[in-house]
Chains A and B, each alone.
Chain A
Amino acid sequence: MEPIEIRFSGSGGQGLQLCAKILSLALNLENLRVAFSQSYEPTSRGGVSRSDLVVDDITPDYPLVTKLDYLVVLDQLSVGISNGLLNKDSVVLADKQLVSEPPKGEFDIHSLPFVEQAIQLGNKRVANIIALGALISIGNIVKFETLVEAVKAGVPPRFLDLNIDAVNTGYRMVTSPGVQLEEIKSS
């Protein structure tokens, strides 16, 4: 296969690494391999942060991203760092509220209410998992059921229900826009 390059970017503390970690688990479950790198600076609270995945069925030649297939942007701060890595085949998912000026170009861009929906679910911090659900819905990178398995394995048990709701919310946000949160919670 041709390697797939995915970036989660935003500000430190938004759970970008957790996103990459959970998606890595899901990819492993489907027998795919990852090379996972991240910004390595003191950015745990605020500041530009990113987590990158290069996905392949073997260990990729070059483990760092060079041309993004998928970019998730959760904060305006981080838009600039992906300049030059996007092309016409890239797919960009940006938070509607926190990214007022998403990257501009010929690529597909989806401006979606990750943070807004997270607040409605009762915790702003699951915006990352909502974005992950939406990414899988748009990108078809792994099966949704596999992603749910990985979420179960990758989040603390006491936050499991919230995260399952979040990943469902993200997925439905794309497949059936306008769906009510109550419906997702009960499903």
Chain B
Amino acid sequence: MASKYQLVNLQGNHACALGAVAAGCRFFAGYPITPSSEIAERMALELPRIGGVFIQMEDEIASMGAVLGASMGGLKSMTATSGPGFSLKQEHLGYGAGAEIPCVIANVMRGGPSTGMPTRPSQGDIMQSRWGTHGDHATIVLAPASVKEVFDETRRAFALSEKFRVPVIVLYDEVIGHLVETIELPKPEECEQVERKWADSDKKTFKPYAETDDLVPPMARPGDGYRVHTTGLTHAEDGFPTQDPETVVRVTQRILGKLEKHADEIASYEEVDCKDADTVIVAIGISARAANQAIRQARKKGGKVGLFRPITLWPFPEKPFKQAVQKAKTVIVPEMNAGQLALEIERLCQSEQIVERLNRIDGEALEPGEILQKIGEAQ
């Protein structure tokens, strides 16, 4: 019998491109930047073959603009970048959040700030991915930790983005981006594609930002004849700018509320051996892979250690996290920055657990040995 899957050795960045294509992405605009360039390179190969569009734009800002335009034009759209480019994209990303334009941004993290260390891994954009653009806004950030997960989470990024009309960021470090792993790759026809909700109501009374039960207004498909106005200004249900305080509160709360309403559906996480754990590690990306090996070694020595790995990084899966650390006295947060995820964990743990930080900022990946040592010190 022919296998449903093909076993391949695939690079993380290529998995991102193939995941996007499998999700139905048909537009990519980007500007090459280390260590994400292989995503653009692969998209330039894949998209023309299937009737999609690949554009190398003049810069990072224009790339993000093109992605928003293409998505409003009806195509599933994405771009890929790294820290410096991610900084440049923030204004348009905010526009996407405000005007509720589905789009996916892959950010492969390298050392920063500024141009930093282009070829070295980092996890320095954990906070920027949540708060990089100004104002109260809704975004979703997914943090895969393996090549297979990059493929799966890029697909999920499109699904969430289309379903909730929100920019979704796929965030991983250079190690995961350039890692090649043997994975089972589903055939494209096996991959479910999620379509956005298109407007089919009366054209005369259509309001592009009307409140709906699920808090996600349907989008008008270009050419269907709906009257639509799109702006970065705070807008009322009809799409036109407003500064009326009551209206502003209502429309802003709807946009923020749509992620809260669907929090359980958006949340995704992995929990390893947390049930009886007195020490729980919280980590993403390559740090989580190191933690995985560390807890296995610690368990062999009798240590009660677990791992909580947010796959949906933002909104942070608060409820499952609190459940996972119920028995824990100590929570260790290893990350390749000077302390970002730790801020969220400290907020969530308050005084119930001691939060221990473990940071690496030298451009090298965290190793299992360091985490194991930290576990030893904590117990």
Which A residues have a C-beta under 8 Å from some C-beta of B? Answer: 21, 24-25, 27-28, 32-38, 40-41, 59, 61-64, 66
Contact = CB atoms under 8 A, between A and B. Distances in A.
Contacts of A24: 9, 180, 182
For the side of the interface on B, what is the size category? 20 to 34
Contact of B289 (A27, A36, A41, A61): A61
Given A24-B9, A66-B293, 11 more contacts: A35-B180, A40-B174, A41-B119, A59-B146, A61-B292, A61-B293, A62-B292, A62-B367, A64-B175, A64-B367, A66-B367
Interface in B287-311: 289-290, 292-293, 296
A37 B182 contact: no
A41 B120 CA distance: 9
Contacts of A35: 179-182
Given A24-B9, A61-B289, A62-B292, A34 B368 contact: no
A37 B178 contact: yes
Contacts of A33: 181-182
A-B CB proximity, top 3 nearest:
A33-B182, A36-B180, A61-B293
B284 interface: no
Nearest to B295: A61
Contacts of B116: none
B365 interface: yes
B148 interface: yes
Contacts of A59: 146, 148, 181-183
Given A62-B290, A62-B292, A63-B289, A28 B182 contact: yes
A64 B178 CA distance: 12
B50 interface: no
B347 to A, nearest CB: 29
B1 interface: no
